[in-house]
Structure 1
Amino acid sequence: MNHLVQSTFTVLIAEDEDMMRERLVSQLKQCCPQAQIVAIAENGNDAWDLWLKHEPDVVFLDIQMPGLSGLAVAERIRARSHIVFVTAYDQHALQAFEHAALDYLLKPVTLERLEQTIKRLVERIQSSGKLISQTVESSISKSQTEALNSIAHENQANEKKTKPKWLRASVGKQIRLIHLNDILFLQSDTKYTRIVTKDGEAYIRTALKDLIEMLDPEIFWQIHRGTVVNAHAIESAERIDSERLEVNLKNCTERLTVSRSFGYLFRESS
């Protein structure tokens, strides 16, 4: 199998169970030493942070993890890495393939099954004519598809119900209630998150990566590892070099840098 791999490729592994994580790392090294493991995460939030830092070629994602789920992390990665989901529950199969997963592994993962995944992965990487987001065929029945679709829609509805409309933030000795609609952007600031509105700024003792889970991704766009912007507040985006953009905001003189990973948000749709 190893002769199929012409060059190394980078891998991120996200798995919250120690034994499963060590098993997957060991198996991957055994069946594909050319796979360069650049990061290992024990929860979904760390998985996303590490993806932003390394932008690996391949990501092995446990679906059920503390913090962000594997599905949520995959949604943020979109088609910028090859995704392989790992889970103990086959009920997640449909959602996995809806997120353009390369493959779907059931725990406990066997070496033989992982080798099949690696073979498929290598073929995908070496096939320049295929899009990264192309999915493999799924053997899920129509009834399973309908049932899983129903579960997915119900989960999405429940998530929307729990989204807050206000954030409590400190301004000097005062505690302010800031409506989400009034926020221009949020930035990481050591142990705090800086919240900027047209009227000023405030700080909240919640990490940005945790706040992101509570925000509507269709409105609040992450444009940098440490910056989330309200899309309604964007005036324009200006290219500053071949890889980066800067965002100009309404009612604000600050300009926000868009990292290469999030440039796709501002590309014209074809």
Structure 2
Amino acid sequence: MNILIIEDESRIAKRIERMTRDILGNAIQSLRHINTLQEAMEFLENNPLDLVLLDLNLNGENGFDMLKSAVSESFHTIIISAYKDQAITAFEYGVLDFVPKPFNIERLEQAFERVTSQEKTDASSIKFLAVKKRGNIQLVPVEDILYIKGAGAYTELYLMNGNKELHDKSLEKLEQLLSPTFERIHKSYLVKMSEVKEIIVKSGSKYEVELNSGEFLPIGRTRYKEIKSKWV
């Protein structure tokens, strides 16, 4: 894993780095520490990452200024901050976890477990998915998303108004963040279950969902029983 720590206090940064190495060991490919938002933004633009550990107060600068950009990327973001009152907002933006300071190695290990095991979050409070559009970051309300289609390392967000947006996160990463609002009905599709109008059984053991929009999407054979039970 390629990991970036964004933390302005050197003592805390070294503690996070030490714990991260103790927990992840050989799974770490690179581990970098940066203490300013500007340098961190430049690093993000030029280096592939799997995980960012972000403080929300960096020498007086607001980490949320960077969070919008960070959550639009392919990697997961974990907040490590003393500002516990910002946790709800952070989850709304799409972070994987919020680790409050002061923290111990057990709590950090719990956060990393979500990354390595692809465990779904129990936070259904995510309200936005951030997408890059014409050089800017646009926040797409989750309530406006009808379904999500995997497109290689990226995903396509299909919206209620008929528009489509491209997201840098994989389908697997978005599935972690969006549970339980969305269900994986197929290897290539995440669907908002409240928008499923009908489940259709076709000949040849093929299955489909019909959405309220009139669109039809395939259901994977191994997922049919689970999807039907959750829809009913």
TM-score (normalizing by structure 2):
0.51
SS in 1 for 2:57: coil
Match of 1:48 among 35, 41, 44: 41
What is the CA deviation profile of residues 25-69 of structure 1, one whole-angstrom value per residue up to 9, with x for unaligned ones? 000001111123342110111111111121311000001113753
Match of 2:121 among 136, 142, 145: 136
1:89 aligns with 2:3: no
Taking a change above 3 Å as real, the CA distance of residues 120 and 68 of structure 1, as seen in their structure-2 partners, is same
Unpaired runs of 5+ residues, structure 1, are: 1-8, 128-134, 141-148, 150-217, 224-260
Q: Kindly name which structure, 1 or 2, has the bigger radius of gyration based on alpha carbons.
A: 1
Structure 1 residue 15, shift from structure 2 partner: 0.2
Match of 2:10 among 18, 31, 39: 18
Q: CA RMSD in A?
A: 3.4
| 1:221 alignment counterpart | 135
Structure 1 residue 109, shift from structure 2 partner: 2.1
| 1:30 alignment counterpart | 22
Match of 1:269 among 146, 149, 164: 164
Paired-residue identity, %: 24
Structure 1 residue 79, shift from structure 2 partner: 4.1
SS in 1 for 2:29: strand
Structure 1 residue 269, shift from structure 2 partner: 1.8
For 1:14 and 1:42, locate their aligned partners in 2 and report how far apart those are by CA, in whole Å.
6
- Count of aligned pairs: 137
TM-score (normalizing by structure 1):
0.44
SS in 2 for 1:136: coil
Q: Which amino acid aligns with 1:102?
A: L
- The within-5 A match list for 1:1-270 is 9-33=1-25, 34-66=27-59, 69-77=62-70, 78-124=72-118, 136-138=121-123, 221=135, 269=164
For 1:67 and 1:219, locate their aligned partners in 2 and report how far apart those are by CA, in whole Å.
28
Q: Which amino acid aligns with 1:116?
A: Q
Runs of 4 or more above 4 Å deviation: none
What is the CA deviation profile of residues 93-121 of structure 1, one whole-angstrom value per residue up to 9, with x for unaligned ones? 01110121111111122100111111111
Structure 2 contact 114–121 (Cα < 8 Å) conserved: no
Structure 1 residue 137, shift from structure 2 partner: 2.5
Structure 1 contact 45–68 (Cα < 8 Å) conserved: no
Unpaired runs of 5+ residues, structure 2, are: 138-153, 158-162, 166-232
Structure 1 contact 44–73 (Cα < 8 Å) conserved: yes
Structure 1 contact 84–105 (Cα < 8 Å) conserved: yes
Greater relative contact order (Cα < 8 A, sep 6+): 2
